[in-house]
């Protein structure tokens, strides 16, 4: 099976780090923010996977023009896809870092997917340009689940307090399925301001349209059942992946993983653990 890797995001990323990830957005101050050059992360992915996977480094046109000499110096040119931002515009959020980039993120990911599909990739891993992620473990997790189910998107975690919430740090899935899910997301009207709720329902419509309709039921058992079948389409990655993430140069705090389920939590009985988690009140 041919794998592809999309690394998406700015070449200079500004925001919280793995050490300040727990600071609520409303409380973020200048002391919590760094300006991180992502070129070393891109070079790391290329050096580790450039000979075993197809790699697409999706770079915005303005970034490429500004950092072209550095891109060449790091030896990244053969892997670069330069993209002009034609994503839907959206109102920025309030705060020290008001950027709301959810459409930019998936616009660039979709174009990276299309490029990797041209190269014959059947499965694609999507990561961020400002994060170092254990891609090898993600592939092992994907292959574990692919022996047990079809048409799914591997995600990082299940957040116990929010049953209809998807993290967007990374994804792994069949390239054609991801292409359909992202295309639909970019074409539809916004469902929620939060990208995490937005993609949960939008991606689910591609894989479990009936379950999505039932998820809006006022009957608790119907809603719980619908969410259960939706989550069967979003299997969880190993805890070790999230434990090892470096975000803007700093390892993510272990406390940031509290209140979440990972693959290991479901090994004894995925059905029982997931069903109980969906029944608990936040």
Report pLDDT for 217. Answer: 92
pLDDT at 262 over 90: yes
Residues 6+ away with beta carbon under 8 Å from 249: 17, 18, 34, 36
**What are the pLDDT digits (tens) for 203-260?**
999 999 999 999 989 999 999 999 999 999 999 999 999 999 999 999 999 999 999 9
pLDDT at 97 over 80: no
Report pLDDT for 26. Answer: 81
Report pLDDT for 108. Answer: 97
* Number of domains into which the chain is organized: 1
**What are the pLDDT digits (tens) for 148-196?**
999 999 999 999 999 999 999 999 999 999 999 999 999 998 889 889 9
Chain mean pLDDT for the chain: 94
- What is the band of 27 on the pLDDT scale with cuts at 50, 70, 90? confident
pLDDT: is 78 or 100 the higher one? 78
**What are the pLDDT digits (tens) for 111-150?**
999 999 999 999 999 999 999 999 999 999 999 999 999 9
Write the CATH number for 112: 3.90.550
Output phi, psi for 217, to 5 deg: -65, 145
Mean pLDDT of the region 70-85: 96
User: Which pair of tokens denotes residue 280?
Assistant: 């608990």
Output phi, psi for 142, to 5 deg: -60, -45
- Give me the domain span that covers residue 131: 3-279
Q: b/e string for 10-39 if b means 16 or more Cβ within 10 A?
A: bbebebbbbbbbeeeeeebeeebbbebbbb
Report pLDDT for 95. Answer: 61
């Amino acid at each position: 099976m041919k794998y592809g890797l999309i690394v998406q995001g700015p070449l200079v990323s500004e925001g919280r780090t793995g050490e300040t990830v727990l600071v609520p957005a409303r409380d973020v101050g200048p002391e919590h923010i760094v300006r991180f050059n992502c070129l070393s992360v891109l070079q790391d992915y290329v050096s580790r996977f450039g000979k075993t996977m197809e790699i697409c480094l999706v770079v915005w046109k303005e970034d490429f023009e500004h950092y072209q000499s550095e891109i060449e110096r790091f030896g990244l040119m053969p892997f670069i896809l330069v993209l002009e931002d034609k994503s839907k515009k959206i109102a920025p959020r309030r705060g020290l870092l008001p950027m709301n980039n959810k459409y930019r993120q998936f616009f660039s990911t979709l174009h990276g997917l299309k490029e990797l599909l041209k190269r014959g990739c059947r499965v694609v891993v999507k990561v961020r340009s400002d994060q170092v992620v254990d891609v090898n473990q993600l592939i092992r997790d994907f292959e574990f689940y692919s022996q047990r189910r079809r048409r799914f998107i591997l995600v990082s975690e299940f957040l116990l307090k929010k049953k209809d919430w998807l993290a967007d740090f990374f994804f792994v899935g069949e390239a054609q399925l991801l292409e359909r899910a992202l295309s639909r997301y970019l074409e539809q009207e916004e469902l929620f301001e939060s990208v995490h709720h937005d993609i949960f329902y939008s991606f689910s419509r591609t894989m479990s349209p009936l379950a999505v309709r039932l998820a809006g039921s006022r009957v608790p058992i119907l809603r719980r059942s619908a969410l259960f079948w939706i989550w069967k389409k979003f299997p969880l990655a190993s805890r070790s992946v999230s434990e090892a993430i470096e975000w803007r140069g700093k390892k993510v705090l272990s406390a940031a993983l509290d209140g979440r389920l990972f693959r290991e939590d479901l090994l004894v009985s995925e059905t029982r653990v997931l069903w109980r988690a969906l029944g608990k009140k936040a």
